[in-house]
Amino acid sequence: MFSLFKDKRAAQGETRVHPDAGATLARQSSFPSAQRSVPVAPAVQVRALRGVPPKAELLDQPIPGETTSAYLVDGPGGQPPLAVVNISGARAHIEIWELKSAGKPVFARSRPVRLDPEQDSWTSFLLSDVARLPGNRLLLAVFYYAPQVKQALFVYDVAAGSYTKIANVVPYADNRQKFFEAQWVAPDTALVSYYTGRTRIAPEIYYNTPTHLRLFSPRYPQGIELLQLAAADGSVARWSVLDKTLWLESRDTRKPREPKTFAWSLSLENLLPR
């Protein structure tokens, strides 16, 4: 039998750690104040796109009503530079183009964009953000209409030209345009955090839960769900990796007058390069 209460409890999830971590999530007294040296993440340039490729222009600044967003990526692993762009119109959509650089980028060749088997039923789909991942891959944050608006994360394998859906997600409570946070925690390892559900606290106020952290590395090119943090253990507000240990601060604001703050740690010794 269909039950709203059952679905709500299921959406909140349970806290679990991937077995490959070989460690358990530990409660701590506070989030560390020390700051780590962050590995330099490969850059993604955000530019304004005027027109439709291959005749479009890339601008440094957007022009309201005339431009959309373009995400430029240096050619990873011997691949040509890429532009992942939003195309406006009655059926707004995403395109991926290989670029030629001769003074300024030139749109040279389009690549297929087949994010999902149900894509033909979407009325439109656009990018919210793009991040680089290890192994010549890109993380694409996409919102689409099917017919209601939905958000999801996809991994694009640049060399293979293939797409893998990671999860349907919900936007951050304090920034409706933000779907994830990515950090490189080693030269060839990245962590991505996101939320897959939310609980309404008051009009236009939500508690995002559960929180997921996904680890990408040469060993896990498509990523593994390192951690899922359940509603009772808080919604992750900030996180960092110090000395191969993941630290998290989470907050339970479901009772606004009685908020709870938690600190957690998880050893990544078995997952990060030695």
pLDDT at 38 over 80: no
pLDDT (0 to 100) of residue 75: 78
pLDDT band at 79 (very low <50, low <70, confident <90, very high): confident
pLDDT band at 208 (very low <50, low <70, confident <90, very high): very high
Distance between CA 111 and CA 96 in Å, rounded? 5
Listed in sequence order, the DSSP H helices in the chain are 4-12
pLDDT at 148 over 70: yes
- The pLDDT of 198-205, averaged and rounded, is 89
pLDDT at 8 over 70: no
pLDDT band at 190 (very low <50, low <70, confident <90, very high): very high
CB 142 within 8 A of CB 151: yes
- The pLDDT of 38-63, averaged and rounded, is 90
CB 22 within 8 A of CB 270: yes
pLDDT (0 to 100) of residue 3: 32
Stronger pLDDT, 5 or 168, i.e. the higher one: 168
pLDDT band at 218 (very low <50, low <70, confident <90, very high): very high
- The pLDDT of 96-104, averaged and rounded, is 83
pLDDT at 126 over 70: yes
Taking every pair of Cα atoms in the chain, the longest distance, rounded to a whole number of angstroms, is: 63
pLDDT band at 10 (very low <50, low <70, confident <90, very high): very low
Range in 150-159, 167-176, 226-235 the model is least confident about:
167-176
- C-alpha closest to that of 75 among 159, 145, 154: 159
Q: Is residue 210 reached through a cis peptide bond, with omega within 30 degrees of 0 on the bond before it? A: yes
- CB-count exposure of residue 221 (10 Å: 0-12, 13-18, 19+): middle
Residue 256 makes CB contacts below 8 A (sequence gap 6+) with 201, 202
Domain ranges of the chain: 1-39+187-274
Distance between CA 69 and CA 83 in Å, rounded? 10
pLDDT (0 to 100) of residue 196: 96
Distance between CA 237 and CA 189 in Å, rounded? 21
- C-alpha closest to that of 23 among 266, 232, 256: 266
- For the segment 244-272, what is each residue's pLDDT rounded down to a tens digit? 999 999 999 999 999 999 999 999 999 99
Calculate the average pLDDT of the chain: 91
233: left (phi over 0), alpha (psi -120 to 50) or beta: alpha
